[in-house]
């Protein structure tokens, strides 16, 4: 973690210097130089986001060491508020999670946010999201089902790995860390994550947690 923070500090210094050059010398720089400078700034921003996500992944397993529980519905609403920029035209059926009254560790809000973010992002038009809550033996099982673009079933294991992407970043933003962070967080609490999907037919991401 300390290494990641040091790298981000140096990266931000470099980006800040590039921004100063862009601001102070923009009228005297040749067009090609301005283009290269813009690419440097964009790459710096992308690298900072990636390092931030790697830091999240690195600390995910430590989240179980000292935590308290809270209402999963409250966490769901908090996750949605943080995704307000994406869900303006989404239809979300969240009644099951609002009625369940289940207490879960607070880091599970990150899992909900990542799964909702994917459901809202990987689509080609309006999307409907359905939240599922079930009891399976001694575990609570939650599902986030969407009507998005989906993916071929053979990629289920691949997308759970760090830095794995099925789409180029210029089509769907992201760096391929969201599901890996979910998996690492859930495993820290004795849970797991899996998915069901088909191309052009939407996806359902499931996760389980031991019942309290």
Q: What was the pLDDT predicted at 66?
A: 66
Q: Is the pTM of this model over 0.85?
A: yes
Q: Can you name the CATH fold of 67-210?
A: Heat Shock Protein 90 (3.30.565)
What's the CA gap between 193 and 157, in Å, rounded? Answer: 10
Half-sphere exposure of 110 (CA within 13 A, CB side): 20
Model pLDDT for residues 182-201, shown as the tens digit of each residue: 999 999 999 999 999 999 99
Q: Give dist(CA 40, CA 30) in Å, integer.
A: 15
Q: How confident is the model at residue 6 (pLDDT cuts 50, 70, 90)?
A: confident
Token readout for 116 is 């909702």
pLDDT in tens, 35-62: 899 999 999 999 999 999 999 999 888 7
Confidence (pLDDT) at 114: 97
Within 10 A of 53 (CB to CB), how many other CB atoms are there? 19
**Per-residue model confidence as pLDDT tens digits over 57-69:** 998 887 666 678 9
At residue 28 the predicted structure's pLDDT band, cuts being 50, 70 and 90, is confident
Domain ranges of the chain: 2-61, 67-210
**Average pLDDT, stretch 92-97?**
95
Mean pLDDT confidence for 69-90: 91
Which tokens in the block code for residue 7?
């790298």
**Would you call 86 exposed, middle or buried from its count of C-beta atoms within 10 A (0-12, 13-18, 19+)?**
middle
pLDDT in tens, 108-143: 999 999 999 999 999 998 999 999 999 999 999 999
């Amino acid at each position: 973690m300390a290494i990641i923070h040091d790298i981000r500090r140096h990266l931000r210094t470099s980006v800040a210097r590039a921004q100063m050059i862009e601001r102070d010398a923009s009228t005297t720089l040749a067009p090609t130089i301005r283009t290269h400078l813009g690419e440097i700034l964009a790459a710096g921003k992308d690298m900072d986001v990636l390092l931030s996500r790697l830091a999240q992944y690195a600390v995910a397993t430590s989240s179980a060491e000292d935590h308290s529980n809270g209402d999963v519905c409250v966490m769901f609403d908090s996750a949605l508020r943080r995704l307000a920029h994406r869900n303006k035209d989404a239809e979300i059926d969240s009644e099951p999670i609002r009625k369940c009254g289940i207490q879960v560790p607070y880091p599970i809000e990150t899992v909900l946010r990542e799964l909702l973010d994917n459901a809202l992002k990987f689509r080609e038009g309006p999307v409907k999201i359905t939240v599922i809550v079930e009891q399976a033996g001694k575990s609570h099982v939650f599902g986030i089902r969407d009507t998005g673009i989906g993916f071929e079933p053979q990629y289920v294991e691949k997308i759970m790995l760090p830095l794995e992407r099925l789409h180029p970043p210029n089509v769907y933003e992201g760096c391929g860390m969201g599901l890996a962070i979910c998996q690492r967080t859930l495993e820290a609490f004795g849970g797991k994550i899996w998915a069901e999907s088909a191309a052009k037919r939407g996806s359902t991401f499931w996760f389980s947690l031991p019942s309290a």
